[in-house]
Amino acid sequence: MTAVTATSGLVEVHNVHKSFHGVEVLKGIDLTVQPGEVVALLGPSGSGKSTLLRTINHLETVDAGSVTVDGEFIGYELRHGKLHELREREILQRRTQVGIVFQNFHLFPHLTALENITEAPLALKRQGRGEARELAFGLLERVGLAEKADAYPRQLSGGQQQRVAIARALALQPKVLLFDEPTSALDPELVGEVLDVIRDLAKLGTTLVIVTHEIGFAREVADRVVFLDQGRIVEQGTPADVLTRPQHPRTREFLAKVLG
């Protein structure tokens, strides 16, 4: 699906385990996402999709295994053969390589759309104010909201807020962009405008990992579909293979329910 050849944004998840309160949510996940690849993560609620996504940019620590982007650990460094968690400041710096868009937007209510986008580059001293504003205007234009630069989140629809959230994630020019069910909090008529923006990103060669229930969208945009169930990858392959000719009974059962 990708129209631009990407040279960075390789994600490697190796034997990742994660438990919450004694319940193992990820049970030895192995997943490699190639630079510029678009991967859709599908599965029932509680299958570990969102947790896996959050381990990629170290919003969740792992109990075992490792996650790297272009060979670099996001939240850890290797010392004497063991992984040690970095200081928070270093984690934040490395995390800028991996943007994430949540289902509930998480915009700052007291900042305008433009200010929401410039906040991180300015806080991290990536750019001067003028340069950050110029980039933010360009990103708003890219997501079709140039005329909403001075609007506050409360003045925007859910779809518009999500498009601002995508622009904000892009402001740090990440190698990888993660989406955690980006349309699930939207009214049905607003879903299309957000999916259109993600479609455009897919064509630009950014590595995308998308947790979604939009089967038609996954079929259209993803290079690969990965189906999770009970903390394990059950099946993966091209959208045509997984969504049209699923091999695993659990995948077939899930798709039958979702597609009716």
Domain-embedded: residue 166: yes
Lowest mean pLDDT among 80-89, 153-162, 170-179: 80-89
Per-residue pLDDT, 90? 84
pTM for the whole structure:
0.91
Distance CA 169, CA 165 (A): 6
The number of distinct structural domains making up the chain is 1
The 10s digit of each residue's pLDDT in 130-157 is 999 999 999 999 999 999 999 999 999 9
**Is there a contact between 18 and 26 (Cβ–Cβ < 8 Å)?**
yes
Instruction: List phi, psi (to 5°) of 145.
Output: -130, 30
Contacts of 49 (CB under 8 A, 6+ apart): 41, 42, 43, 211, 228
DSSP 8-state assignment for residue 248:
S
Domain-embedded: residue 149: yes
The 10s digit of each residue's pLDDT in 12-60 is 999 999 999 999 999 999 999 999 999 999 999 999 999 999 999 999 9
Q: Which two tokens stand for residue 85?
A: 């968690």
Domain-embedded: residue 227: no
The 10s digit of each residue's pLDDT in 80-111 is 888 888 888 888 888 888 999 998 889 999 99
Q: Which helix (H) or strand (E) is 88 found in, with range?
A: helix 88-95
Domain-embedded: residue 186: no
Q: Of 259, 218, 220, which Cα lies nearest the Cα of 42?
A: 218
Distance CA 178, CA 95 (A): 12
Per-residue pLDDT, 5? 65
Per-residue pLDDT, 248? 96
Domain hosting 114: range is 109-173
Per-residue pLDDT, 255? 95
Domain-embedded: residue 257: no
Domain-embedded: residue 94: no
Contacts of 91 (CB under 8 A, 6+ apart): 58, 74, 75, 85
Domain-embedded: residue 165: yes
Average pLDDT over residues 60-76: 90
CA dihedral 86, 89, 91, 96 (to 10 degrees): -160
Domain-embedded: residue 135: yes
The 10s digit of each residue's pLDDT in 207-236 is 999 999 899 999 999 999 999 999 999 999
Per-residue pLDDT, 129? 92
